Amino acid sequence: MMAASPVLHDVRFGLPQPRTFERIPTGISAIDTLASGGIPRGALTEIHGPASSGRTSLLFAAMARVTTNQEYCALIDAADAFDPASAAEAGVHLSRLLWIRCGGNAEHALKAADLIVQAGGFGLIVMDLADTPPRTAARISLASWFRLRHAVERTPAALVVLEQMLNAKSCSSLQLELRSKEVRWSGSQFGKLLHGTEVRAQSCKHYHTQSATFEAHR
């Protein structure tokens, strides 16, 4: 006679719980609310939009917060577009910033990002592809983005890619699209100065979309 099969008791099956990330607040309340507290550490974030959409203002806010908290930031500047004076004016401590210039070579920027992520020691790592032509940035393979995401998951760093259009797509944990909504001026009609731009930010991931607005000052 065959032995009866053992009966399993109190066995529960279910989907794994979603991973929770520690966040880097940007200090821009609308963005921090939209992003559930800020930019996630141990994850890849994409910030995309056209020129004058508030990308740089948001980037400087995050860099200022990280360097003020005694952490180091690495900026991989694909197109040599970074302005240190503007960053310092926005509160970034340049003594805690590693600036890597890539001379317009997106492939070099990708390799530098990979090396910096694996080196460790940084709270925020930024790969700035915002001034790289979209067709050039789109040549970066999904496998390369997946490798970067996998590498940063083992670190306490936040990896941020600044770009005109989404490239990493499913490999990014947070996607923020920025669009200029309204330009604001100060002064009289005889002498107006550009005061800032009202920016609309939209977060879209897994078919769930939320939006918020903030002002990017000039």
User: What confidence score (pLDDT) does residue 199 get?
Assistant: 72
Please state, in angstroms and rounded to a whole number, the distance separating the CA atoms of residues 1 and 57: 76
Within a domain: residue 208? no
Domain total of the chain: 1
CATH of the domain at 147: 3.40.50.300
What's this model's pTM, rounded to 2 decimal places?
Answer: 0.81
Task: Please report the pLDDT score of residue 100 as a whole number.
Answer: 98
Q: What is the pLDDT of residue 179?
A: 86
Strand boundaries in 4-42, DSSP class E:
23-24, 39-40
Position 17 in a domain: no
Calpha distance 76→128 (Å, rounded): 6
- The range of the structural domain enclosing residue 159 comes to 23-179
Whether 153 is in a domain gets the answer yes
* DSSP reduced 3-state for 148: helix
Q: Look at residue 64 and tell me if it is in a domain.
A: yes
Residue written as token pair 């995050």: 62
Centre a 10 Å sphere on the Cβ of residue 202 and count the other Cβ atoms it contains: 15
- Would residue 197 count as lying in a domain? no
What pLDDT score was predicted for residue 8? 46
Q: Is residue 105 part of a domain?
A: yes
**Residue 185, pLDDT score:** 43
Question: Which residues, given as ranges, of the chain have pLDDT below 70?
Answer: 1-20, 182-197, 205-209, 214, 216-218
Coil, strand, or helix at residue 192?
coil
Residue 94 lies in a domain: yes
Q: pLDDT at position 173, please?
A: 94
Is residue 162 assigned to a domain? Answer: yes
C-alpha to C-alpha distance for 31 and 11, rounded to whole angstroms: 42
